[in-house]
Structure 1
Amino acid sequence: MTASLPALGLDFGTTNSVAAIARGDAAELVMLDAPDGAQAVFRSALCFWEDGDVRGGLASEAGPWAIREYLDFPEGSRFIQSFKSVAASATFEHANVFERRLRFEDLGTLFVDKMRARARGRLDGPMARIVVGRPVAYAGSRPDEALARSRYDLVFGALGAEVHYVYEPLGAAFSYAARLTERATILVADFGGGTSDFSVVRVDVPGAAQRCVPLGHAGVGIAGDRFDQRIVDRLVMPLLGKGGSYRSFDKVLEIPGGYFADFADWSRLALMRNKRTLAELEKLRRSALDPEAIGRMIAVIEQELGYRLYDAVGGLKRALSEAEQARFVFEGAGLAIEAEVTRDQFEAWIAPDMLRIDAAVDSALASAGVEAADIDRVFLTGGTSLTPRIRRLFDARFGAERIATGGELTSIAHGLALIGLQDDIAAWAN
């Protein structure tokens, strides 16, 4: 690579995105403008609104600026978040935004452009390489990896440098390796919003010709957003008609679950505000045995209350990470929910997900050809790694003394940038 040019590491995340630039043998995070001051973490969200003074009549913002615009004018906005979750979904063709049809690559390109515009020029210069993180296993019931790659190529290929894709936990591994002074076999567990990904890496001493060697990987499309779905399913959905029935001629049938599945998915909730879906829900409301419940679902969608619901759910999760009991509060669109939730209850709700995460750890170890006893250090990263149930899983399997944390939201981008400086980039790319 050209020594005079820096490498860019980009962690395009389901919940947050982070950029880092590496030059020489060091990397630093890119600080991005935000309403409350510069910050490295940029929310992976977009907000659209109609504006006749803007070319094309459709204005937009991203990151924390999108949240601010939404909060100022929710009913006149379209707020889209967690859209990375549909990257590998063949069923996702486009999002309807004020009669516009925006494909995944349209959303992704717009988001990256807005992110660059807030970087104070740090992302405008030429780069020798761009290293973009990708999950080991994409989110979704039937993820199409080739489709996700083609969509990523359209988004990131326009950045003006050679693009390499690297498993996200490998980025975190390279960042964590900078802390180590002795040889070690490490397991990196990256828990984000959409996926939980694992890599086993052998780390050599500083100055070694090949500092890090990837040994094996595994992943599962379950993480923080799935935990959110469990909360919504238990606390909100019963008031929106889930489990209810509707009348069809002389039969009483259960309401189809698809509407509720989409509602509980942050990447799809905002997309339900389209003429077809709302017409279907209105027809269902008229035939439902509990029409008021379906009416509340329609009102949440029409009033663009998805982010406020997301914020309430996230607040409950954070509170339960600190305390054994917390209160869930959400009000709007005819809903007034107050519920005391214990940590034990929440952990019972996510128990099926924890089993699949545990199995993915087994797969990562098997892929690397190692046993749990062979792991010297476990590095937990990603925002969902702060969930106490996640931490207890790894304490029990590997011992608390082997667990390391830190840089939960930034380690991947930092490591991706450092990987961009390596001569053996092909050994890391996937």
Structure 2
Amino acid sequence: MDQVLLCSSQIPLTTSISNTFIKKYMLNANGSYVKVYLYLSMCIQSDIHGLSISSLADRMENTEKDVLRALQYWEKKNLLTLQYNESNDDICGILLLNPETADQTISVTASDETPSNEISFDEPSSYTKPVSMPEDFQANTLSALKADTYTTSVDQTDSLSSMETATTEAVARKDEDAQPLPVDDTETKEIVITQEQTERVAKDDDFSWTRLIVESYLDRPITTKEADLLIYLFDTLHFSKDLILYLYEYCCSIHKTNINYVQAVAFSWDKNNVKTPDDAQELSHQYNECHSAICKALGLNRMLGSIESQYIDRWQNEWQMDLAVILNACNRTILTIQKPDFKYLNGILENWHKHNVHTLQDVQVCDDNYNKKKANNTRDNKPAIQKSNNRNQFHAFEQRNTSAAEIDQLEKMLLKR
């Protein structure tokens, strides 16, 4: 991670925090967000150098996404401003603002002169611009749900922040090169939402907060269809808040936020009885492990296509075959035709499926039965083969049956000449 340069014109022994911050902002903020703000204030006022997002995350014992989310939160409160590189939208500076004038509109661009209380980056960061929550999210939510009022308590805020942290850490544990889950995002299913469901979730604070966070992940207000999908997941499939947030954070992490893909992933999780983010992570881990093993067995150095993923999904979920059985079929495919052919591979597994093969022991039994049958057929056909081999093109006509007396007579006639 690129180093963060901290600038200040004084180096006090203590850190000064505005009473306005304590009274107006700190009490209603999540504790981890407050820690980030206080530590940044200390670094600015103590002229500490060599700071980075990753080092902040280490000191806070949080993920880097949590630190970025905290910075976004204080930016929304107008207590700091994040500056982004115009070419790639990477963070290039952090400007701490005066809490006394936080309600005033502040505009800072990358070309402005760097103030004394600004954290700047020497080089563009490798982090992409984090999502931010627009000011009119609450209004959009109430309008879409046709609700008259919307309230929340400090306890709900803390609970939500903890939930965000849990899902963020779960996504952060995934492999960087993880492949998308085996879903067909071109296949859609009509979702029917009743007016009763809409009115019921409009009164549910958990749903309203979940919707706000989903919009923050997408960095935009959700559409009507996306709102219907969210209601369907919450009220029909009974997905928990944690699972819905994990679903959208997962889709955002692989840059697949199309409603058809999100819906397909959700239905796949419901089909596989996924109830918690841990269940979803385990399903994703099994999927990636299976695909990686099959690609290695076939000698493929690429992601599998949609139709290839459907083949694997059929072998594992519909035919209930162990991964070892599939890898055995992969080896036989390569040894027989010397190329990775999913149609040929599917032919082998389809034949095994007809013989009720699920494990390597079943494969061995199937091979033994085939060898016995082949040996019996060879033994039964051996006499016929030998008889056929005794006849050639010189025995294609009927042979003479000449007696010994006739042969002697022919010899006497030959000698008299």
Fold match by TM threshold 0.5:
no
TM-score by structure 1 length? 0.22
Q: Which structure has the greater CA radius of gyration?
A: 2
TM-score by structure 2 length? 0.23
- Point out which structure has higher relative CO (alpha carbons under 8 A, 6+ apart): 1
Higher helix share: 2
